[in-house]
Structure 1
Protein backbone atom coordinates (compact mmCIF):
# COMPACT_ATOMS: atom_id res chain seq x y z
CA UNK A 1 0.00 0.00 0.00
CA UNK A 2 1.38 3.39 -1.01
CA UNK A 3 2.16 5.91 1.70
CA UNK A 4 -0.35 8.77 1.50
CA UNK A 5 0.95 11.91 -0.16
CA UNK A 6 -1.84 14.24 0.96
CA UNK A 7 -3.87 14.45 4.17
CA UNK A 8 -7.38 15.84 3.52
CA UNK A 9 -9.50 17.00 6.46
CA UNK A 10 -13.23 17.39 5.80
CA UNK A 11 -15.07 19.51 8.40
CA UNK A 12 -18.81 18.90 8.26
CA UNK A 13 -22.01 19.93 9.96
CA UNK A 14 -25.53 19.35 8.61
CA UNK A 15 -24.47 19.45 4.96
CA UNK A 16 -25.42 15.90 4.06
CA UNK A 17 -26.95 17.11 0.81
CA UNK A 18 -23.47 18.11 -0.40
CA UNK A 19 -21.15 15.75 1.50
CA UNK A 20 -21.45 12.72 -0.77
CA UNK A 21 -20.39 14.72 -3.83
CA UNK A 22 -17.52 16.33 -1.92
CA UNK A 23 -16.16 12.96 -0.78
CA UNK A 24 -16.57 11.52 -4.26
CA UNK A 25 -14.46 14.38 -5.68
CA UNK A 26 -11.73 13.57 -3.13
CA UNK A 27 -11.63 9.83 -3.71
CA UNK A 28 -11.52 10.34 -7.48
CA UNK A 29 -8.12 12.06 -7.13
CA UNK A 30 -5.36 10.07 -8.83
CA UNK A 31 -2.76 9.92 -6.05
CA UNK A 32 -2.52 8.28 -2.60
CA UNK A 33 -4.45 10.21 0.05
CA UNK A 34 -5.77 9.85 3.58
CA UNK A 35 -9.12 11.44 4.42
CA UNK A 36 -10.40 12.34 7.88
CA UNK A 37 -14.05 13.39 8.22
CA UNK A 38 -14.68 15.59 11.25
CA UNK A 39 -18.44 15.97 11.68
CA UNK A 40 -19.88 18.21 14.36
CA UNK A 41 -22.80 15.94 15.26
CA UNK A 42 -25.03 16.43 12.23
CA UNK A 43 -28.73 15.58 12.48
CA UNK A 44 -29.44 15.40 8.73
CA UNK A 45 -28.53 12.59 6.31
CA UNK A 46 -24.79 12.91 7.02
CA UNK A 47 -24.76 9.59 8.92
CA UNK A 48 -25.92 7.78 5.77
CA UNK A 49 -23.13 9.39 3.74
CA UNK A 50 -20.55 8.42 6.35
CA UNK A 51 -21.82 4.84 6.27
CA UNK A 52 -21.38 4.80 2.49
CA UNK A 53 -17.76 5.98 2.62
CA UNK A 54 -16.51 4.73 6.01
CA UNK A 55 -14.42 1.91 4.52
CA UNK A 56 -12.43 4.44 2.48
CA UNK A 57 -12.09 7.06 5.20
CA UNK A 58 -8.87 6.93 7.20
CA UNK A 59 -10.83 8.17 10.19
CA UNK A 60 -14.07 9.88 11.13
CA UNK A 61 -16.11 11.01 14.09
CA UNK A 62 -19.49 12.69 14.62
CA UNK A 63 -20.07 14.67 17.80
CA UNK A 64 -20.24 18.26 18.99
CA UNK A 65 -16.91 20.05 18.62
CA UNK A 66 -15.33 23.47 19.00
CA UNK A 67 -16.06 24.67 15.48
CA UNK A 68 -14.74 24.44 11.95
CA UNK A 69 -11.13 25.50 12.52
CA UNK A 70 -10.72 23.16 15.50
CA UNK A 71 -12.15 20.30 13.43
CA UNK A 72 -9.72 21.02 10.58
CA UNK A 73 -6.78 21.01 12.99
CA UNK A 74 -7.97 17.75 14.51
CA UNK A 75 -8.31 16.03 11.14
CA UNK A 76 -4.93 17.13 9.83
CA UNK A 77 -3.22 16.13 13.11
CA UNK A 78 -4.53 12.58 12.67
CA UNK A 79 -2.65 12.21 9.38
CA UNK A 80 1.00 11.86 8.45
CA UNK A 81 1.23 12.83 4.76
CA UNK A 82 3.78 15.52 3.78
CA UNK A 83 1.10 17.75 2.22
CA UNK A 84 -2.16 18.81 3.85
CA UNK A 85 -5.38 20.58 2.98
CA UNK A 86 -9.02 20.71 3.89
CA UNK A 87 -12.15 20.57 1.78
CA UNK A 88 -15.35 21.93 3.23
CA UNK A 89 -18.24 19.53 2.88
CA UNK A 90 -20.01 21.75 0.33
CA UNK A 91 -16.98 22.26 -1.96
CA UNK A 92 -15.40 20.07 -4.65
CA UNK A 93 -12.05 19.15 -6.14
CA UNK A 94 -11.84 19.04 -9.92
CA UNK A 95 -10.38 15.86 -11.49
CA UNK A 96 -6.59 15.73 -11.12
CA UNK A 97 -6.55 18.71 -8.76
CA UNK A 98 -4.36 17.30 -6.01
CA UNK A 99 -1.79 15.88 -8.43
CA UNK A 100 -1.48 19.31 -10.08
CA UNK A 101 -1.09 21.01 -6.70
CA UNK A 102 1.48 18.49 -5.47
CA UNK A 103 3.52 18.82 -8.66
CA UNK A 104 3.45 22.61 -8.42
CA UNK A 105 4.48 22.61 -4.76
CA UNK A 106 7.27 20.11 -5.34
CA UNK A 107 8.59 22.48 -8.00
CA UNK A 108 8.33 25.55 -5.75
CA UNK A 109 10.72 24.39 -3.04
CA UNK A 110 10.76 27.71 -1.13
CA UNK A 111 6.96 28.08 -0.93
CA UNK A 112 5.00 26.98 2.14
CA UNK A 113 1.87 26.38 0.09
CA UNK A 114 0.42 26.49 -3.41
CA UNK A 115 -2.96 27.78 -4.56
CA UNK A 116 -4.74 27.44 -7.88
CA UNK A 117 -7.82 28.88 -9.48
CA UNK A 118 -11.37 27.94 -8.51
CA UNK A 119 -14.89 28.32 -9.78
CA UNK A 120 -17.82 29.70 -7.83
CA UNK A 121 -20.82 27.51 -8.59
CA UNK A 122 -24.31 28.83 -7.85
CA UNK A 123 -26.29 25.98 -6.30
CA UNK A 124 -29.69 27.09 -7.57
CA UNK A 125 -28.71 27.38 -11.24
CA UNK A 126 -25.41 25.53 -11.65
CA UNK A 127 -23.87 28.65 -13.18
CA UNK A 128 -20.10 28.93 -12.75
CA UNK A 129 -17.91 32.00 -12.68
CA UNK A 130 -14.27 32.30 -11.62
CA UNK A 131 -13.24 33.20 -8.09
CA UNK A 132 -10.99 36.28 -7.96
CA UNK A 133 -7.51 34.69 -7.75
CA UNK A 134 -4.21 36.35 -8.64
CA UNK A 135 -0.43 36.19 -8.25
CA UNK A 136 0.79 36.53 -4.68
CA UNK A 137 1.51 40.01 -3.36
CA UNK A 138 1.49 41.27 0.23
CA UNK A 139 -0.05 44.56 -0.86
CA UNK A 140 -2.82 42.82 -2.79
CA UNK A 141 -3.42 40.44 0.13
CA UNK A 142 -4.00 43.46 2.34
CA UNK A 143 -6.81 44.53 0.00
CA UNK A 144 -8.65 41.21 -0.32
CA UNK A 145 -8.33 37.48 0.20
CA UNK A 146 -7.46 36.44 -3.34
CA UNK A 147 -6.58 32.85 -2.38
CA UNK A 148 -9.46 30.39 -2.76
CA UNK A 149 -9.27 27.95 0.14
CA UNK A 150 -10.49 24.74 -1.61
CA UNK A 151 -7.80 25.30 -4.26
CA UNK A 152 -4.86 25.21 -1.82
CA UNK A 153 -2.28 22.68 -0.67
CA UNK A 154 0.13 23.24 2.24
CA UNK A 155 3.36 21.58 3.32
CA UNK A 156 2.78 19.77 6.61
CA UNK A 157 6.02 21.26 7.93
CA UNK A 158 4.72 24.78 7.21
CA UNK A 159 1.29 23.98 8.68
CA UNK A 160 2.88 22.73 11.89
CA UNK A 161 5.31 25.65 12.06
CA UNK A 162 2.42 28.15 12.30
CA UNK A 163 0.22 25.94 14.47
CA UNK A 164 -2.47 25.25 11.89
CA UNK A 165 -5.72 27.21 11.71
CA UNK A 166 -6.63 29.63 14.51
CA UNK A 167 -9.51 27.90 16.33
CA UNK A 168 -10.67 31.24 17.76
CA UNK A 169 -11.69 32.39 14.27
CA UNK A 170 -14.99 31.33 12.75
CA UNK A 171 -15.21 33.23 9.44
CA UNK A 172 -11.72 33.99 8.10
CA UNK A 173 -9.45 31.26 9.47
CA UNK A 174 -8.17 30.70 5.93
CA UNK A 175 -7.32 34.39 5.32
CA UNK A 176 -5.46 34.51 8.64
CA UNK A 177 -3.61 31.29 7.75
CA UNK A 178 -2.34 32.68 4.42
CA UNK A 179 -0.96 35.70 6.25
CA UNK A 180 0.79 33.59 8.90
CA UNK A 181 2.26 31.19 6.34
CA UNK A 182 3.57 34.13 4.33
CA UNK A 183 5.09 35.96 7.31
CA UNK A 184 6.62 32.78 8.73
CA UNK A 185 7.75 30.99 5.57
CA UNK A 186 7.50 33.29 2.54
CA UNK A 187 5.24 33.88 -0.43
CA UNK A 188 2.68 31.26 -1.43
CA UNK A 189 3.06 29.86 -4.97
CA UNK A 190 0.37 30.50 -7.59
CA UNK A 191 -0.73 27.74 -9.99
CA UNK A 192 -2.57 29.23 -12.97
CA UNK A 193 -5.01 26.35 -13.41
CA UNK A 194 -8.52 25.55 -12.18
CA UNK A 195 -8.52 22.88 -9.47
CA UNK A 196 -11.62 23.34 -7.31
CA UNK A 197 -15.23 24.46 -7.05
CA UNK A 198 -16.54 26.72 -4.31
CA UNK A 199 -20.26 26.08 -4.01
CA UNK A 200 -22.50 29.12 -3.44
CA UNK A 201 -25.79 28.58 -1.60
CA UNK A 202 -27.95 30.50 0.84
CA UNK A 203 -26.64 28.70 3.94
CA UNK A 204 -22.95 29.58 3.54
CA UNK A 205 -21.49 31.55 6.45
CA UNK A 206 -20.31 34.36 4.19
CA UNK A 207 -23.92 34.95 3.13
CA UNK A 208 -25.64 34.51 6.48
CA UNK A 209 -23.04 36.31 8.62
CA UNK A 210 -21.68 39.09 6.39
CA UNK A 211 -21.14 41.60 9.18
CA UNK A 212 -19.18 39.13 11.32
CA UNK A 213 -17.15 38.08 8.27
CA UNK A 214 -16.02 41.62 7.52
CA UNK A 215 -15.36 42.40 11.17
CA UNK A 216 -13.01 39.39 11.44
CA UNK A 217 -11.36 40.12 8.09
CA UNK A 218 -10.60 43.74 8.98
CA UNK A 219 -9.11 42.63 12.30
CA UNK A 220 -6.86 40.15 10.47
CA UNK A 221 -5.64 42.81 8.04
CA UNK A 222 -4.89 45.20 10.90
CA UNK A 223 -3.04 42.47 12.81
CA UNK A 224 -0.83 41.26 9.97
CA UNK A 225 -0.53 44.32 7.75
CA UNK A 226 -0.24 47.00 10.44
CA UNK A 227 -3.09 49.11 9.04
CA UNK A 228 -6.38 48.64 7.21
CA UNK A 229 -6.46 50.02 3.63
CA UNK A 230 -9.27 52.43 2.79
CA UNK A 231 -10.75 49.86 0.41
CA UNK A 232 -12.12 47.86 3.36
CA UNK A 233 -14.12 50.80 4.72
CA UNK A 234 -15.60 51.41 1.27
CA UNK A 235 -16.36 47.78 0.54
CA UNK A 236 -17.89 46.85 3.89
CA UNK A 237 -21.20 48.78 3.50
CA UNK A 238 -21.65 47.27 0.02
CA UNK A 239 -20.94 43.72 1.14
CA UNK A 240 -22.98 43.86 4.34
CA UNK A 241 -25.97 45.92 3.26
CA UNK A 242 -26.42 45.98 -0.51
CA UNK A 243 -25.56 42.33 -1.13
CA UNK A 244 -28.05 41.28 1.53
CA UNK A 245 -30.77 42.92 -0.58
CA UNK A 246 -29.90 41.05 -3.78
CA UNK A 247 -29.09 37.57 -2.47
Structure 2
Protein backbone atom coordinates (compact mmCIF):
# COMPACT_ATOMS: atom_id res chain seq x y z
CA UNK A 1 0.00 0.00 0.00
CA UNK A 2 1.25 3.49 -0.86
CA UNK A 3 2.22 5.77 1.98
CA UNK A 4 -0.72 7.85 3.21
CA UNK A 5 -0.21 11.47 2.22
CA UNK A 6 -0.95 14.16 4.84
CA UNK A 7 -3.37 16.92 4.04
CA UNK A 8 -1.35 19.71 2.34
CA UNK A 9 -2.48 22.60 4.59
CA UNK A 10 1.03 23.08 5.94
CA UNK A 11 2.46 22.95 2.42
CA UNK A 12 0.08 25.72 1.35
CA UNK A 13 1.31 27.80 4.28
CA UNK A 14 4.88 27.20 3.16
CA UNK A 15 4.02 28.21 -0.38
CA UNK A 16 2.24 31.32 0.85
CA UNK A 17 -0.69 30.47 -1.36
CA UNK A 18 -4.04 28.82 -0.62
CA UNK A 19 -5.75 27.04 -3.48
CA UNK A 20 -9.31 27.74 -4.50
CA UNK A 21 -9.17 24.40 -6.29
CA UNK A 22 -7.12 22.11 -4.03
CA UNK A 23 -7.47 19.30 -6.56
CA UNK A 24 -4.85 21.14 -8.64
CA UNK A 25 -2.34 20.91 -5.81
CA UNK A 26 -3.22 17.24 -5.34
CA UNK A 27 -2.54 16.62 -9.02
CA UNK A 28 0.78 18.48 -8.82
CA UNK A 29 1.87 16.12 -6.04
CA UNK A 30 0.83 12.90 -7.79
CA UNK A 31 3.51 10.80 -9.45
CA UNK A 32 2.54 8.59 -12.38
CA UNK A 33 3.29 5.53 -10.21
CA UNK A 34 0.61 6.42 -7.63
CA UNK A 35 -2.33 4.02 -7.50
CA UNK A 36 -5.14 5.27 -9.72
CA UNK A 37 -3.12 8.23 -10.98
CA UNK A 38 -4.03 7.63 -14.60
CA UNK A 39 -3.99 10.90 -16.49
CA UNK A 40 -4.02 12.90 -13.26
CA UNK A 41 -0.30 12.75 -12.51
CA UNK A 42 1.75 15.93 -12.37
CA UNK A 43 3.13 15.59 -15.92
CA UNK A 44 0.75 18.02 -17.65
CA UNK A 45 1.11 20.60 -14.89
CA UNK A 46 4.88 20.19 -15.07
CA UNK A 47 4.76 20.98 -18.79
CA UNK A 48 2.82 24.17 -18.07
CA UNK A 49 4.83 25.16 -15.04
CA UNK A 50 8.11 24.82 -16.90
CA UNK A 51 6.98 27.51 -19.36
CA UNK A 52 5.51 29.74 -16.67
CA UNK A 53 8.70 29.48 -14.61
CA UNK A 54 10.85 30.37 -17.60
CA UNK A 55 8.79 33.48 -18.35
CA UNK A 56 8.75 34.71 -14.75
CA UNK A 57 12.47 34.12 -14.23
CA UNK A 58 13.21 35.87 -17.53
CA UNK A 59 11.15 38.84 -16.34
CA UNK A 60 12.98 38.84 -12.99
CA UNK A 61 16.36 38.81 -14.70
CA UNK A 62 15.36 41.53 -17.15
CA UNK A 63 14.40 43.81 -14.25
CA UNK A 64 17.24 42.86 -11.90
CA UNK A 65 20.12 43.09 -14.39
CA UNK A 66 19.27 46.06 -16.66
CA UNK A 67 22.78 46.31 -18.10
CA UNK A 68 23.34 42.61 -18.85
CA UNK A 69 23.42 41.54 -22.53
CA UNK A 70 21.18 38.81 -23.90
CA UNK A 71 23.87 36.17 -23.62
CA UNK A 72 24.43 36.85 -19.93
CA UNK A 73 20.68 36.80 -19.24
CA UNK A 74 20.37 33.49 -21.09
CA UNK A 75 23.20 32.06 -19.03
CA UNK A 76 21.56 33.11 -15.78
CA UNK A 77 18.18 31.81 -16.95
CA UNK A 78 19.60 28.38 -17.74
CA UNK A 79 21.18 28.25 -14.29
CA UNK A 80 17.99 29.21 -12.46
CA UNK A 81 15.58 26.86 -14.23
CA UNK A 82 17.84 23.79 -14.34
CA UNK A 83 16.76 20.61 -12.57
CA UNK A 84 19.03 21.09 -9.56
CA UNK A 85 17.71 24.61 -8.87
CA UNK A 86 14.07 23.50 -9.09
CA UNK A 87 14.80 20.51 -6.84
CA UNK A 88 16.45 22.84 -4.31
CA UNK A 89 13.30 24.96 -4.22
CA UNK A 90 11.08 21.89 -3.85
CA UNK A 91 13.22 20.73 -0.91
CA UNK A 92 12.87 24.17 0.68
CA UNK A 93 9.09 23.75 0.34
CA UNK A 94 9.48 20.28 1.92
CA UNK A 95 7.18 18.64 -0.62
CA UNK A 96 8.56 15.14 -0.03
CA UNK A 97 6.07 14.04 2.67
CA UNK A 98 3.15 15.15 0.51
CA UNK A 99 4.07 13.26 -2.65
CA UNK A 100 1.70 10.55 -3.83
CA UNK A 101 3.88 7.67 -5.00
CA UNK A 102 3.52 4.02 -5.79
CA UNK A 103 4.57 1.62 -3.03
CA UNK A 104 7.83 0.70 -4.74
CA UNK A 105 8.84 4.30 -5.33
CA UNK A 106 7.98 5.29 -1.77
CA UNK A 107 10.04 2.44 -0.33
CA UNK A 108 13.05 3.18 -2.55
CA UNK A 109 13.39 6.76 -1.35
CA UNK A 110 11.99 8.54 -4.38
CA UNK A 111 10.69 11.33 -2.16
CA UNK A 112 14.26 12.67 -2.33
CA UNK A 113 14.74 12.00 -6.04
CA UNK A 114 16.04 15.22 -7.62
CA UNK A 115 14.24 14.65 -10.91
CA UNK A 116 10.89 14.07 -9.22
CA UNK A 117 11.38 17.04 -6.91
CA UNK A 118 12.26 19.31 -9.83
CA UNK A 119 9.22 18.10 -11.79
CA UNK A 120 6.93 18.68 -8.80
CA UNK A 121 8.34 22.19 -8.32
CA UNK A 122 7.34 23.05 -11.88
CA UNK A 123 3.98 21.28 -11.49
CA UNK A 124 3.14 23.32 -8.39
CA UNK A 125 4.00 26.52 -10.24
CA UNK A 126 1.70 25.41 -13.06
CA UNK A 127 -1.05 24.60 -10.57
CA UNK A 128 -0.77 28.03 -8.92
CA UNK A 129 -0.87 29.66 -12.35
CA UNK A 130 -4.10 27.84 -13.24
CA UNK A 131 -5.66 28.49 -9.85
CA UNK A 132 -4.67 32.10 -9.25
CA UNK A 133 -3.29 33.46 -12.51
CA UNK A 134 0.04 34.90 -13.52
CA UNK A 135 0.31 37.31 -10.58
CA UNK A 136 -0.02 34.48 -8.05
CA UNK A 137 2.53 32.34 -9.89
CA UNK A 138 4.93 35.27 -10.13
CA UNK A 139 4.64 35.95 -6.39
CA UNK A 140 5.46 32.31 -5.65
CA UNK A 141 8.43 32.18 -8.02
CA UNK A 142 9.84 35.52 -6.88
CA UNK A 143 9.65 34.50 -3.23
CA UNK A 144 11.09 31.04 -3.85
CA UNK A 145 13.85 31.83 -6.37
CA UNK A 146 15.01 35.26 -5.16
CA UNK A 147 17.90 33.85 -3.13
CA UNK A 148 19.12 31.87 -6.13
CA UNK A 149 18.98 34.97 -8.33
CA UNK A 150 22.14 36.40 -6.80
CA UNK A 151 23.73 33.15 -5.66
CA UNK A 152 27.22 32.49 -7.05
CA UNK A 153 26.89 30.71 -10.35
CA UNK A 154 28.69 27.49 -11.12
CA UNK A 155 32.00 27.95 -12.94
CA UNK A 156 31.41 26.89 -16.51
CA UNK A 157 34.45 24.62 -16.82
CA UNK A 158 33.02 22.40 -19.54
CA UNK A 159 32.16 24.28 -22.76
CA UNK A 160 30.05 21.43 -24.19
CA UNK A 161 27.90 21.21 -21.06
CA UNK A 162 27.60 24.98 -20.92
CA UNK A 163 26.53 25.17 -24.56
CA UNK A 164 23.95 22.44 -24.08
CA UNK A 165 22.51 24.23 -21.03
CA UNK A 166 22.38 27.51 -22.97
CA UNK A 167 20.54 25.84 -25.87
CA UNK A 168 18.15 24.15 -23.44
CA UNK A 169 17.48 27.47 -21.73
CA UNK A 170 16.45 28.90 -25.11
CA UNK A 171 14.16 25.94 -25.80
CA UNK A 172 16.40 24.64 -28.60
CA UNK A 173 17.50 21.09 -29.45
CA UNK A 174 20.93 19.96 -28.19
CA UNK A 175 23.95 21.16 -30.20
CA UNK A 176 25.20 18.85 -32.95
CA UNK A 177 28.87 18.18 -33.73
CA UNK A 178 30.51 16.89 -36.90
CA UNK A 179 34.11 16.21 -37.93
CA UNK A 180 34.87 18.51 -40.84
CA UNK A 181 38.50 17.52 -41.42
CA UNK A 182 41.14 15.15 -40.06
CA UNK A 183 44.79 15.78 -40.81
CA UNK A 184 48.19 14.61 -39.59
CA UNK A 185 49.63 11.12 -39.10
CA UNK A 186 47.72 8.40 -37.27
CA UNK A 187 49.87 8.77 -34.17
CA UNK A 188 49.27 12.55 -33.97
CA UNK A 189 45.98 13.41 -35.70
CA UNK A 190 44.38 16.83 -35.81
CA UNK A 191 40.62 17.22 -35.93
CA UNK A 192 38.51 20.14 -37.10
CA UNK A 193 34.98 19.90 -35.74
CA UNK A 194 31.90 22.02 -36.39
CA UNK A 195 29.15 22.71 -33.86
CA UNK A 196 25.65 23.80 -34.80
CA UNK A 197 22.84 25.17 -32.64
CA UNK A 198 19.48 25.58 -34.35
CA UNK A 199 18.96 29.16 -35.50
CA UNK A 200 22.61 30.11 -35.09
CA UNK A 201 25.62 29.97 -37.41
CA UNK A 202 28.03 27.08 -37.03
CA UNK A 203 31.36 27.49 -35.28
CA UNK A 204 34.53 25.43 -35.39
CA UNK A 205 37.26 24.07 -33.16
CA UNK A 206 40.62 22.34 -33.59
CA UNK A 207 42.06 19.65 -31.34
CA UNK A 208 44.22 16.57 -31.10
CA UNK A 209 41.11 14.48 -30.41
CA UNK A 210 37.47 14.71 -31.43
CA UNK A 211 36.47 15.57 -27.89
CA UNK A 212 39.05 18.33 -27.57
CA UNK A 213 37.95 19.80 -30.90
CA UNK A 214 34.29 19.64 -29.85
CA UNK A 215 35.11 21.48 -26.61
CA UNK A 216 36.99 24.15 -28.52
CA UNK A 217 34.12 24.54 -31.01
CA UNK A 218 31.62 24.89 -28.16
CA UNK A 219 33.88 27.42 -26.45
CA UNK A 220 34.15 29.45 -29.64
CA UNK A 221 30.38 29.55 -30.11
CA UNK A 222 29.81 30.55 -26.48
CA UNK A 223 32.25 33.43 -26.85
CA UNK A 224 30.78 34.53 -30.17
CA UNK A 225 27.22 34.61 -28.82
CA UNK A 226 28.25 36.53 -25.71
CA UNK A 227 27.28 33.71 -23.35
CA UNK A 228 30.86 33.47 -22.14
CA UNK A 229 33.61 36.04 -21.81
CA UNK A 230 37.32 35.36 -21.82
CA UNK A 231 37.18 35.41 -18.01
CA UNK A 232 34.91 32.36 -18.10
CA UNK A 233 37.38 30.44 -20.23
CA UNK A 234 40.02 30.92 -17.57
CA UNK A 235 38.02 28.46 -15.42
CA UNK A 236 38.61 25.65 -17.87
Q: Which bin holds the TM-score, normalised by the shorter protein?
A: under 0.3
Where is the strand percentage greater, Structure 1 or Structure 2?
Answer: 1
More helix by share: 2
TM-score, normalization by structure 1: 0.27
Q: Which has the larger radius of gyration?
A: 2
